[in-house]
């Protein structure tokens, strides 16, 4: 199997995995309000991160490094430190696998605005916004000279990146993988684009924190989030040989495409990805006790995901506890899979389940055993899954087991 030996985050709940997980277990929301500078702009619910770029980059470097790459470098560096793996591996045997859905949104938007206003576009706009910039910066910062690959699969991006990294570990292509994702698109143009799709939550003044209500009867969309999360993956044998702590084991992964619609999810495609992941992990559905769901709090998305879970678990669906932590940290788009993989890993390690927050009235049409309470303990939890279902019909599911 593949061991998770390091976790690094820059999240809406902070930059330490244990503190982040503790806040989630308390049901604390990191979601607030954002108002862009468009005419007649309406407030949007977002979850931002507190980040000091100057602690990681010089002013000269920052001229060409978008926030999405800044967050990636910080989270990946922290993951490597957590694994105690700096200098342990030959650089050519270390791979970087990064998911990023939209690249350097801030640099792209700033470049367009500058060009329209004064006819000048900053000269480093292209290298700042290119989607593979986070992977390149992580590789340079951590001196990883193996493959540095980027996966842009919308909301499944970083889950796919982690799965591909695990394949490379299992196949002997690399000895260590720095795998995860980053996203930073809380800029007026991008937020406005999501608003006009009518996928973002609408809320009363002062109620942004509880605006994302996955699987609830009154759900009405998600909150955009930003941040980065990375896992350090190694073979279980190598991790044991160097005496590394194993947070959990990545036992299986599955991917599929709905091939039906660009934005509308399909239960059959999701069911296939879940089934593939369980088969690779050699687990039956009843062996898995927790699902960190994709759970975007959209009307159709939550219903389709529920259908897929019930189809796979069948009569054992009551044995599966479910929560969507997007209710508290927002939807990180391309980085969502990585952050939720980190949270799922910690849930297994700590035998605790984060809540499906803000769900005062669970939708009976979804029919899932939601984790509605805070501080939920799962002493017998041995395996858990996390799902990422994306625009474009791409589905990615990761299965973790207790180390």
Q: Calculate Rg over the CA atoms of the chain.
A: 20
Annotated active-site residue 247? The verdict is no
Q: What is the 3-state secondary structure of the chain?
A: CEEEEEEEEEECCECCHHHHHHHHHCCCCCCEEECCCCCCCCCEEEECCCCCHHHCCCHHHHCCCCHHHHHHHHHHHHHHHHHCCCCCCCHHHEEEEEECCCCCHHHHHHHHHHHHHHCCCCCCHHHHHCCCHHHHHHHHHHCCCCCEEEECCHHHHHHHHHHHHHHHHHCCCCCEEEEEEEECCCCHHHHHHHHHCCCECCCCCCCHHHCCCCCECCCCCECEECEEEEEEEEEHHHHHHCCCCCCEEEEEEEEEECCCCCCCCCHHHHHHHHHHHHHHHCCCHHHCCEEECCCCCCHHHHHHHHHHHHHHHHHHHHHCEEECCHHHHCECHHHHHHHHHHHHHHHHHHCEECCCCCCCCECCCCCCEECCCCCEECCCCCEEEEEEECCCCEEEEEEEECC
Q: What is the spatial distance between Cα 133 and Cα 150, in angstroms, rounded to a whole number?
A: 9
Annotated active-site residue 329? The verdict is no
**Given 137, 294, 359, 366, the catalytic residue:** 294
**Given 212, 329, 331, 366, the catalytic residue:** 331
**Given 100, 155, 212, 291, the catalytic residue:** 155
Annotated active-site residue 294? The verdict is yes
Active site residues: 155, 294, 331
């Amino acid at each position: 199997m593949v061991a998770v030996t390091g976790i690094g985050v820059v999240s809406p709940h902070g930059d330490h995995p244990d503190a982040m997980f503790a806040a989630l277990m308390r049901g604390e929301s990191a979601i607030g309000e954002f108002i862009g500078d468009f005419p007649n702009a309406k407030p949007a619910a977002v979850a931002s991160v507190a980040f000091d770029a100057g602690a990681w980059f010089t002013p000269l470097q920052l001229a060409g490094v978008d926030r999405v790459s800044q967050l990636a470098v910080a989270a990946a560096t922290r993951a490597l430190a957590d694994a105690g793996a700096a200098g342990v591996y030959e650089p050519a045997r270390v791979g970087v696998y990064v998911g990023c859905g939209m690249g350097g949104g801030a640099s792209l938007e700033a470049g367009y605005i500058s060009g329209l206003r004064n006819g000048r576009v900053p000269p480093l706009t292209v290298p700042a916004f290119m989607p593979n910039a986070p992977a390149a910066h992580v590789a340079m910062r951590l001196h990883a000279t193996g493959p540095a690959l980027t996966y842009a699969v919308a909301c499944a991006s970083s889950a796919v990146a982690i799965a591909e990294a695990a394949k490379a570990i299992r196949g002997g292509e690399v000895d260590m993988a720095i795998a995860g994702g980053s996203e930073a698109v809380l800029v007026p143009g991008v937020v406005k684009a999501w608003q006009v799709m009518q996928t973002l939550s609408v809320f009363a003044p002062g109620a942004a924190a509880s605006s994302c209500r996955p699987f609830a009867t009154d759900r009405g969309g998600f909150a955009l989030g930003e941040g980065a999360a990375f896992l350090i993956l190694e073979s279980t044998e190598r991790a044991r040989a160097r005496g590394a702590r194993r947070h959990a084991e990545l036992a299986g992964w599955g991917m599929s495409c709905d091939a039906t619609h660009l934005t509308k999810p399909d239960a059959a495609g999701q069911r296939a990805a879940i089934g593939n992941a369980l088969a690779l992990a050699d687990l039956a559905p009843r062996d898995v006790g927790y699902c960190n769901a994709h759970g975007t709090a959209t009307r159709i998305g939550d219903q389709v995901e529920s259908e897929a879970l019930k189809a796979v678990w069948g009569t054992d669906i009551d044995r599966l506890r479910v929560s969507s932590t997007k209710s508290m940290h927002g939807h990180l788009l391309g980085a969502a899979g990585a952050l939720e993989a980190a949270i799922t890993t910690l849930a297994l390690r700590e035998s605790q389940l984060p809540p499906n927050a803000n769900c005062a009235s669970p939708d009976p049409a979804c029919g899932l055993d939601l984790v509605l309470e805070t501080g939920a303990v799962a002493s017998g939890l041995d395996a858990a899954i996390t799902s990422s279902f994306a625009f474009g019909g791409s589905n990615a599911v990761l299965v973790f087991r207790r180390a």
